[in-house]
Structure 1
Amino acid sequence: MSKNFLGLDTAKTQELADSLNDLLSNYQIFYMNVRGYHWNIKGDNFFELHVKFEEQYDALLLKIDEIAERVLTLGYRPAHAYSTYMERSDIPERKDVSNGKDAVQNIAESFVKLIGKQRELLSLANAADDEGTASLMSDYIAEQEKTLWMYRSYLGQ
C-alpha cells in the first residue's frame, strides 16, 4: 500500500478526491440554482426569501471553496469546468424559478441529495482514516440537517 504525503493510502485518497469532485459538482449547480432563486423570486414572501436565498448561496460558496481545497489537500485537482459540473451533478439545473414555494422545495430536495452524498463521503473518509474529510462532512451534515428541517417546516412538511 502506497501512502501520500499526508500518510493516507493513495488508492483511498483517489476515491475520496473523486467523490469530493462529485460533491463539488453538485454544490456548484445548487449554488447557481439558489442565485437564480434570489434574483428571480416574486410574490408575497419576496423580502424574506430574497434575503434567505442570499444567505444560502453565500454559505454554499464557502463550502465550494472548502471542498475544492480539500481535494487539493489530498493531492488532487478539483473539478473546475462548468461542463464537468453539469455532467456530474445529480442536482438538476433549475431555470426561471420565481415561485417561492417551488424554490424552497427545490432547495430542500437538493439538501437531501447533498446530505446523502456527504454521508457516503463520511463513510469513505472514515475507512481511509482521513479525519480532515470526515470532520468536514460531519460538520456539513449536522448543519444541513437543521437547515433542511427549517425549509421543510416552511413548506408545512
Structure 2
Amino acid sequence: MDIETLNGVEKMKVNIGISEDHREKIAAGLSKVLADSYLLYLKTHNYHWNVTGELFHQLHEQFEEQYSELAEAIDEIAERIRALGFRAPGTFKEFNEIASIGEDTDRPKALDMVKRLTEANEQVIRTAREALEPAKAADDEATIDLLTERLTVHSKTAWMLRSHLEE
C-alpha cells in the first residue's frame, strides 16, 4: 500500500494510471465546471420560485426540470473530483471565487430569466470545453465522458430556452 503524509495526515495515494500533475489539472477544470454548475443551479431554482406572467406554468415546470437535473450533475462532478484525489470546492465563497457565472442583482422578468439562463448554460458549455483539454491530454475517459454528457445537456437546454426568445 502506497501511503503519503500531507499536513500530518496519512492517506493512501491515488494510483489510477493518471499522473498527479494531470489529475490536479483535471480536478481544477472540473472545479470550475462545478462552480458554474452550482451557480446555474441557484439561478435556475431562484427563477423557478419567482417566475411570473403568462409563461408562468411552462417556465416554472421547465426550470424545475433543469434545476433537478443540475442537482444530480453537481454531485457527479464533485464525486469525480474526489475520485481524482482532490477536495471538491463546496462553499459559496469558493464557488464565487472560481465561477464564471454571477448572481442576479435585480428581479428579471420571465423572458429576461430565459435569456440569462440561456447565457449561463452557454457559459457552462465553454467552461466544460476548457476542462476537456486536460482530461483528453491524460486519456481520462471517465472525465471525458462526464464532460461530454454535460456538453450535451447544456447544449440542449440552451437550445430549448433560446426557442422561447424566437418569434
Which range, TM-score by smaller chain?
Answer: over 0.9
Structure 2: stretches of 5+ with no match in the other structure: 1-12
Match of 2:3 in 1: none
Could you report, residue by residue, the CA deviation over 1:30-89 in whole angstroms, capped at 9, with x for unpaired residues? 111111101111111111111111111101111100000000010111001111111211
Pairs within 5 Å for 1:64-103: 64-103=74-113
Could you report, residue by residue, the CA deviation over 1:123-149 in whole angstroms, capped at 9, with x for unpaired residues? 221111100000111111122212211
Q: Which runs of 4+ in 1 moved over 2 A?
A: 95-98
1:131 to 136, 141, 155: 141
Question: In 1, distance between residues paired with 2:157 and 2:49?
Answer: 21
Pairs within 5 Å for 1:6-155: 6-155=16-165
Question: In 2, distance between residues paired with 1:50 and 1:142?
Answer: 22
Aligned residue identity for 1:121:
A
SS at 2:87 equivalent: coil
- Which of the two has greater strand per residue? 2
Question: In 1, distance between residues paired with 2:75 and 2:105?
Answer: 24
Structure 1: stretches of 5+ with no match in the other structure: none
Match of 2:5 in 1: none
Q: How many aligned residue pairs are there?
A: 155
Q: Mean Cα displacement is larger for which, 4-13 or 92-101? A: 92-101
SS at 2:154 equivalent: helix
Please provide the CA RMSD for this pair.
Answer: 1.5
Could you report, residue by residue, the CA deviation over 1:75-120 in whole angstroms, capped at 9, with x for unpaired residues? 1110011111112111011245351101110110011111011111
Question: In 1, distance between residues paired with 2:116 and 2:44?
Answer: 9
Larger Rg: 1 or 2? 2
Question: In 1, distance between residues paired with 2:155 and 2:91?
Answer: 29
Identity %: 36
Question: In 2, distance between residues paired with 1:50 and 1:95?
Answer: 21
Contact 1:36 1:96 in 2 (8 A): no
Question: In 2, distance between residues paired with 1:103 and 1:139?
Answer: 24
Q: Mean Cα displacement is larger for which, 142-151 or 28-37? A: 142-151
